[in-house]
Amino acid sequence: MICKDRIMLTKVGKSGIMVLKGNTVMAYYDGTKLLSMKDLNGNEPEIFLCTTNRTGGKTAWFSKFLVKKFLDKKEKFCLVYRFNYELDDCAEKFFKDISSLFFQGHTMESKRRASGIFHELFIDDISCGYAIALNGADQLKKYSHLFNDVKRMFFDEFQSETNHYCPDEIRKFISVHVSIARGQGEQVRYVPVYMCGNAVTIINPYYVALGICDRLRDDTKFLRGNGYVLEQGFIQSASDAIMSSGFNKAFANDNYVAYSAQNIYLNDNMAFVEKPDGYGRYICTIRYNGTDFAVREYSELGFLYVDTRPDYTYPTKITVTTDDHNVNYVMLKRNDFFLSNMRYLFERGAFRFKDMKCKEAILKALSY
């Protein structure tokens, strides 16, 4: 197929997508290897995670995979979003790009169900699946019987660039999968989840819950865990296209351009992650998200140091959330002088951290 702008689709199939644009061949993401892998214990994974640089084609590959499975075998799928407002026009958003590339002549639409708690999806007027939102997990339980024909789930952009997650998102994600993976005479069916995203931060809720953030390295390409496999890919042609854009050249020094083109984790700035020498005077213990962090003052070096070695004999124990509030802990208000002073020091670079987990926790605690 040759288009007016001389873009020709030259190869589509198990080996991915190859596109000829002018005289340049552009290779896009191919998920075949990821889906063929076993987990750490040699079992069939039920969670498949994939991160690449932006515009690498991962969303298109998995979207095409789901639609083709339906057209060939009538196997339904479920699209997972974070918030209910994202369900509006979900069929158009999902199908628009891939329809022109792979499914010309086919149409897709969505219809609101249960007062908008979920949407039903249709291809060529035949029901092909559903679209649900994680923040509606509790309401979805009563409709779980409707989802017993779903074979696969797809969660695109599982990492939020703005750190805007649902409250208690992991619990809601698990609840949604439980609601969908029941029925057909089984207490639990095998329903794989494909999760795509760009590299925002290794301390995202899913990597933390799965134990990935402590195992991932810059050169990791595939990572196997208990029940999951992860691919950390890089699409050279996508990187070249982003870096050759005049707009992106103008912002070449911005972190976001590097994140988009090179698959560099956007929020994982290793600045201020270092271990000091000398003696540190214990200041306080800060509890955040169930973990205690120790804050020590290194007066000769002029900064505070945070690690995960709390001194429980020291009386000052602080929390900033009701979830972390416990006996012997003082919950400070947002405008408390102590927190205001800590923010002042943080903003002026007067903190050092044992690792990114400590940095992330203190950043969130001080900005809560």
* Over residues 286-312, mean pLDDT: 93
pLDDT higher for 199 or 328? 199
Cβ(362)–Cβ(346) below 8 Å: yes
Instruction: Say whether pLDDT at 338 is over 90.
Output: no
Fold of 29-262: Rossmann fold (3.40.50)
Structure confidence by residue, pLDDT tens digits, 85-106: 999 999 999 999 899 989 999 9
Tokens of 240: 């070249």
Across 15-24, 172-181, 317-326, the highest mean pLDDT is recorded for: 172-181
Q: How far is CA 108 from CA 87, 99, 103, in A?
A: 14, 9, 10
Helix (H) or strand (E) holding 131: strand 126-133
When mean pLDDT is compared across 115-124, 254-263, 307-316, 338-347, the lowest value belongs to 254-263
Domain residue spans of the chain: 29-262, 281-367
At 257 the pLDDT is 46
> How many whole angstroms separate alpha carbon 102 and alpha carbon 119?
24
Torsion of CA 244, 247, 248, 252, to 10 degrees: 110
Backbone angles phi, psi at 124, to 5 degrees: 55, 40
When mean pLDDT is compared across 58-72, 163-177, 186-200, 263-277, the lowest value belongs to 263-277
Question: Beta 281-288 vs 351-353: how paired, if at all?
Answer: unpaired
In the chain, what is the straight-line distance between the N-terminal and C-terminal CA atoms, in Å? Answer: 53
At 236 the pLDDT is 52
Structure confidence by residue, pLDDT tens digits, 125-155: 999 999 999 999 999 999 999 999 999 999 9
Instruction: Say whether pLDDT at 249 is over 90.
Output: no
* Over residues 306-330, mean pLDDT: 86
At 3 the pLDDT is 37
* Over residues 169-191, mean pLDDT: 90
Give the pLDDT band (50/70/90) at residue 116.
very high
